[in-house]
Structure 1
Amino acid sequence: MEDLILPDKKVSQAKDSKTIQVFAPATVANVVCGFDVLGFAVNEPGDEVVMRVTDKPGITISKITGDNGRLPLDPAKNTVSVSVRHYLESVGQPHLGLDIELHKKMPIGSGLGSSSASTVAGLFAIKTLLGDDNDVAKLLPFAMKGEEMACGHGHADNVAPALMGGFVLIRSYEPLDVVRLPHPAGLYCAIVFPDVDVPTREARQIIRNKINMKDAVTQWGNVAGLVSGLFMNDIDLIGRSMKDVLVEPVRSMLIPGFYQMRDMAMELGAVSFGISGSGPSVFAFTRDEQTAHNITKKLQAFLTGIKINSNSYVSTINDKGPRVL
């Protein structure tokens, strides 16, 4: 992913008075069996970026809130500014003056695409400021540069759904080929974030480099079944297919009480249950909103009982992606 895709159309020169505020959504990546190739966007949580055009050339980050001081203000080290800089270079405006405020409205290291939401918000903001009417998917390579900085690997299963909305398949990385998938309208997602530390880089390092053919065949069948279930609006098929024999058995060891939470969710009527991204967040698909709320309430009570704080979210699949506030 070294070659960035330049927009097909020219963009206008921004005016000094322009300011914009953008929200970009959290995402659930992998979706159990689709490691690095499947993801979907949710309505909440998400991050916000305020971007202003300035007279001084170059990008500055004047404020970051909600991160407890964990994220760098240095524009050379922040995923938002780095991805925006790549975009500006591609459209011939590398010296455009920008000031960025980043407001983290979601937990860092949650497995919900925190860096992805920030990066996408920044890219959507500059695209809108410059009047760039190219398809939003043209921003994907720049967003992947931000992911590469955040976790050492420029995967697209968070940034693609955050940018495009909905349920997304990354069919290929070389060349980049992204497909937006349909999904049942009544599908709800219950998310619980246990407040434990599972860094993405470390979570990737424990994954096996070699797998046996039997496991590979099982995984291929499950990914195909999940995609088929999405196209057919077959929620039962979706549930049967969301099983992971490759990554979940390893990563689940980093999440306290994972299998107990899975059993609770399934007993309460979940269609499926698994890890969101690299964790520690877990999610369940349900057929209705009330079941989703029942599951988050039960799982949070369980986590409280083992002295772990948590946050929860209930959402349908977000088909819109980023938006101007």
Structure 2
Amino acid sequence: MEEKYIKEVKALNAVKTPPLGGREASAISVFAPATVANVVCGFDVLGFAVNEPGDEVVMRLTNKPGITISKITGDNGRLPLDPAKNTVSVSVQHYLNSIGRNEIGLDIELHKKMPIGSGLGSSSASTVAGLFAIKTLLGDDADPARLLPFAMKGEEMACGYGHADNVAPALFGGFVLIRSYEPLDVIRLPHPENLHCAIVFPDVDVPTREARQIIRKNIQMKDAVTQWGNIAGLVSGLFMNDLNLIGRSMKDVLVEPVRSMLIPDFYKMRDMAMEAGAISFGISGSGPSVFAFTEDADTAHRITQKLQQHLTALSIGSNTYVSTINDNGPRVL
């Protein structure tokens, strides 16, 4: 499948694998950010990166060919050390296959700095950190966009479908639109500089695979038309720096009505966020995290505080994050 993707990413200059450049290092540590996928109305086609949380991958060259995972922290034992079953190592192996470097030996440490199953792109952050690490470690100065098909392979392993609305913003940074999957066509969108994101992750379990399975397979034409209009309105609002248009466009009539049932007091939290000054409110990815756009950091902090207090009253723990949109993507630590 990765060969098919490489041929298709023409808009990202990913048709042909260029030779490696620079000088190989022996070890590297890379951070990749969390992401908010869907952005309410753009199921599988919209996403953006945030500054925190995120994941860290430490990668070292070894003398023995093949990939090993020597350590995983922060996962409470939930992630496999088997390199054939971990999204980081599987994606890196696909990349090595593509450049003909299977003689390389690698040891990987994965440090989870974000919750698993949060709806914040946990698997994509790890995968992108690993791919950016191996690319940098080997001195591959080609366009990072070539890594996207391999990152999508990690998503396919994680949830059964190789969607790009998490891995693309994690890899490129910023606000991203996946215009098409076949052929793959990914576009970075502008956004207002003062746009802040308030994120609350309730401590409830919403597995991504199950959250995808409950989505309706058939929809009414009137709902599709509403959704198309909202996606177009959101993209237009981003280009025009129109916060009001962004807010009134972020409505979902297809996915949110079903997924919201998995999140305690979702509509109550939405009302609270809007009353506290949010521009918009919705589910991050498959949930259970929720997010709100605001015009400033103070409003974002006020919203996270109010929602966290509400969840505490329901005996539900939570984590909160406030961030601008991260335009940088992965970085070497």
Residue aligning to 2:146: 138
| Equivalent residues of 1:14, 1:53 under 8 A apart | no
Per-residue deviation, residues 290-316 of structure 1 (Å, max 9, x unmatched): 000000000000000000000000000
Residue aligning to 1:226: 234
Residue aligning to 2:137: 129
The two structures have a TM-score, normalised by structure 2, of 0.96
SS at 1:162's partner residue? helix
Residue aligning to 1:154: 162
Q: Does 1:197 align with 2:205?
A: yes
TM-aligned CA deviation for residue 136 of structure 1: 1.1
Residue aligning to 1:8: 17
Residue aligning to 1:39: 47
SS at 1:303's partner residue? helix
User: Which of the numbers 284, 289, 307 marks the counterpart of 1:281?
Assistant: 289
Counterpart amino acid of 1:11?
A: L
Identity %: 82
Residue aligning to 2:225: 217
The gaps in structure 1 that reach 5 residues or longer are none
The 5 Å alignment of 1:1-325 reads 1-2=1-2, 3-5=4-6, 8-11=17-20, 15=24, 18-325=26-333
Question: Structure 1 residues 149, 14: closer, same or farther in 2, change over 3 A?
Answer: farther
| Equivalent residues of 2:20, 2:140 under 8 A apart | yes
Counterpart amino acid of 1:240?
A: R
Counterpart amino acid of 1:9?
A: P
Q: Aligned equivalents of 2:145 and 2:105: distance in 1?
A: 24
TM-aligned CA deviation for residue 4 of structure 1: 4.2
SS at 1:109's partner residue? coil
TM-aligned CA deviation for residue 109 of structure 1: 0.1
TM-aligned CA deviation for residue 95 of structure 1: 2.4
| Equivalent residues of 1:27, 1:162 under 8 A apart | yes
Q: Aligned equivalents of 2:185 and 2:118: distance in 1?
A: 27
Q: Aligned equivalents of 2:277 and 2:317: distance in 1?
A: 24
TM-aligned CA deviation for residue 137 of structure 1: 1.1
Per-residue deviation, residues 80-126 of structure 1 (Å, max 9, x unmatched): 00000000000010121000000000000000000000000000000
Question: Structure 1 residues 48, 7: closer, same or farther in 2, change over 3 A?
Answer: farther
Q: Aligned equivalents of 2:165 and 2:220: distance in 1?
A: 24
SS at 2:85's partner residue? coil
SS at 2:52's partner residue? strand
| Equivalent residues of 2:22, 2:141 under 8 A apart | no
Q: Aligned equivalents of 1:66 and 1:11: distance in 2?
A: 33
| Equivalent residues of 2:20, 2:142 under 8 A apart | no
| Equivalent residues of 1:120, 1:143 under 8 A apart | yes
TM-aligned CA deviation for residue 8 of structure 1: 3.3
Residue aligning to 2:9: none
Q: Aligned equivalents of 1:266 and 1:191: distance in 2?
A: 14
Counterpart amino acid of 1:10?
A: P
Q: Aligned equivalents of 1:210 and 1:186: distance in 2?
A: 38
TM-aligned CA deviation for residue 12 of structure 1: 5.0
Per-residue deviation, residues 222-265 of structure 1 (Å, max 9, x unmatched): 00000000000000000000000000000000000100000000
CA RMSD of aligned residues (A): 1.1
TM-aligned CA deviation for residue 133 of structure 1: 1.2
Counterpart amino acid of 2:146?
A: K
The gaps in structure 2 that reach 5 residues or longer are 7-14
Q: Aligned equivalents of 2:124 and 2:16: distance in 1?
A: 21
Q: Aligned equivalents of 1:33 and 1:82: distance in 2?
A: 31
TM-aligned CA deviation for residue 62 of structure 1: 0.3
Q: Aligned equivalents of 1:198 and 1:8: distance in 2?
A: 38
TM-aligned CA deviation for residue 131 of structure 1: 1.0
Q: Aligned equivalents of 1:35 and 1:51: distance in 2?
A: 33
| Equivalent residues of 1:7, 1:91 under 8 A apart | no
Counterpart amino acid of 2:19?
A: K
